[in-house]
């Protein structure tokens, strides 16, 4: 029996050490070519981060997306500039964290803000915020991007002057089965719905369906599906709220709205939204002007409804983006205005967060993505 216990402990250690988790940090470089993407290894026991590599000579790589297979990293470039932005493809060397630039393509509009990838990993959608549109690219066999294949443009508005005078596509999300695409239009208070068909000869075919209208002045920004695929949750920047929906075969049905801030505000700047890997907790970030927090909710997995548990201070200003590591043990926050990335240990049972003493100093961090790899 003694030898069996020792063997089990050794096997558990082997399993823990057989994977490594990489953190990729995107940033704003103030419009000049500079170090823009940082690659760290996360110790999934201590929460410590070790710098592996940086990608240089990049301009505003402010949003990142890892291909599901973990082999490639995609980034917007030249966001928040007066010219058209770009989308870049990198090959990931998971052994040393190096990024090899494969190619870049014109994004088709100003201020690319978000990237989504079809579940079959053959198509990429880029969202252009200022020139309201999304652009479709094929992902080549080597991970690089084709020339721009199609553009879908939007013209609309809503009630918040200065923010909703015209359409602003902030993000897109494929349904879990890849049969539908939802586009978050901050400018028109609409979530546009497209049916998706993959045609071997014609590529990705998009057919516009109806849209989901959110409350006027909300400003839908980001969206996430529950791991089980039966619910979806959108975060609205201008109203500081999360909306819960039931989901089935391309249809989102309203359940309830939830204020993400701890108190009513004159101005809201809600930003990012994620669900824990086990599907039990939802997190949303609030970017000032008077509250920089992560709102923590439990999810009723039968009804999809949320229940507020806590508001966690982010120990910095303007938490534009945050991420949960694949193990669910840690939540990391990018505080853009205070140039710091803060690491929290996450209580898997309660969902609550405890700040760890170590944090990173990164200029204008804007996006965090993590991926676990097998050690060779």
Upstream peptide bond of 289 is cis (omega within 30 degrees of 0):
yes
pLDDT of 10: 42
pLDDT of 13: 46
Is residue 273 a part of any domain in this protein? yes
Is residue 33 a part of any domain in this protein? no
Is residue 135 a part of any domain in this protein? no
Is residue 57 a part of any domain in this protein? no
Tokens representing 287? 């970017």
Is residue 56 a part of any domain in this protein? no
Question: Which residues pair with residue 224 across a beta bridge?
Answer: 233
Which three-class secondary structure state does DSSP give residue 351? coil
Number of domains in the chain: 1
pLDDT of 199: 87
Is residue 280 a part of any domain in this protein? yes
Is residue 78 a part of any domain in this protein? no
**CATH code at 182?**
2.130.10.10
Distance CA(312)–CA(56), nearest Å, equals 33
DSSP tag of 139: B
Q: Are 151 and 169 in contact (CB under 8 A)?
A: no
Question: Phi and psi (nearest 5°) for 161?
Answer: -65, 140
Q: State the pTM of this model.
A: 0.95
* Cβ count within 10 A of residue 374: 9
Q: Which domain holds residue 173?
A: 154-313
Give mean pLDDT in consecutive 10-residue pieces for the chain, a chain of 376 residues.
42 64 98 97 97 98 98 98 98 97 98 98 98 98 96 98 98 98 98 95 92 97 98 98 98 98 97 98 98 98 98 98 98 98 98 97 98 91
Distance CA(170)–CA(11), nearest Å, equals 45
Q: Are 192 and 173 in contact (CB under 8 A)?
A: no
Distance CA(77)–CA(36), nearest Å, equals 10
Is residue 376 a part of any domain in this protein? no
């Amino acid at each position: 029996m003694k030898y069996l216990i020792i063997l089990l402990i050794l096997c558990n250690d082997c399993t823990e050490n057989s994977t490594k988790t990489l953190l990729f940090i995107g940033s704003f470089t103030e419009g000049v070519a500079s170090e823009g993407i940082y690659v760290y290894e996360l110790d999934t026991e201590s929460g410590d981060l070790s710098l592996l590599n940086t990608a240089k000579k990049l301009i505003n790589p402010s949003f990142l997306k890892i291909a599901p297979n973990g082999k490639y990293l995609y980034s917007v470039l030249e966001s928040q500039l007066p010219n058209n932005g770009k989308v870049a493809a990198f090959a990931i060397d998971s052994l040393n964290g190096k990024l090899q630039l494969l190619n870049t393509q014109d994004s088709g509009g100003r201020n690319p803000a978000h990237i989504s990838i079809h579940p079959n990993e053959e198509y990429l959608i880029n969202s252009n915020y200022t020139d309201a549109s999304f652009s479709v690219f094929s992902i080549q066999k080597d991970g690089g991007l084709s020339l721009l294949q199609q553009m879908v443009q939007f013209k609309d508005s809503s009630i918040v002057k200065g923010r909703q005078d015209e359409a602003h596509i902030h993000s897109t999300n494929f349904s879990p089965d890849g049969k539908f695409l939802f586009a978050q239009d901050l400018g028109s208070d609409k979530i546009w719905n497209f049916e998706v068909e993959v045609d071997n000869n014609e590529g990705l075919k998009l057919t516009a369906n109806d849209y989901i209208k959110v409350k006027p002045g909300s400003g839908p920004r980001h969206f996430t599906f529950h791991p089980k695929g039966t619910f979806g949750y959108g975060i609205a920047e201008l109203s500081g709220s999360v909306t819960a929906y039931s989901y089935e075969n391309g249809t989102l049905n309203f359940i309830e709205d939830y204020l993400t801030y701890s108190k009513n505000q004159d101005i809201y700047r809600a930003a990012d939204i994620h669900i824990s890997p086990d599907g039990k907790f939802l997190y949303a970030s609030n970017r000032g002007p008077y509250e920089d927090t992560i709102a923590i909710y439990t999810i009723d997995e039968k009804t999809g409804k949320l229940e507020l548990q806590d508001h966690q201070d982010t120990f910095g200003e303007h938490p534009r983006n945050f991420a949960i590591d694949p193990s669910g043990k840690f939540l990391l926050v990018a505080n853009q205005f205070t140039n710091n990335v803060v690491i929290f240990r996450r209580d898997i049972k309660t969902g609550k967060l405890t700040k760890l003493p170590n944090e990173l100093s990164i200029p204008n961090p804007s996006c965090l993505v993590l991926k676990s790899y097998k050690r060779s």
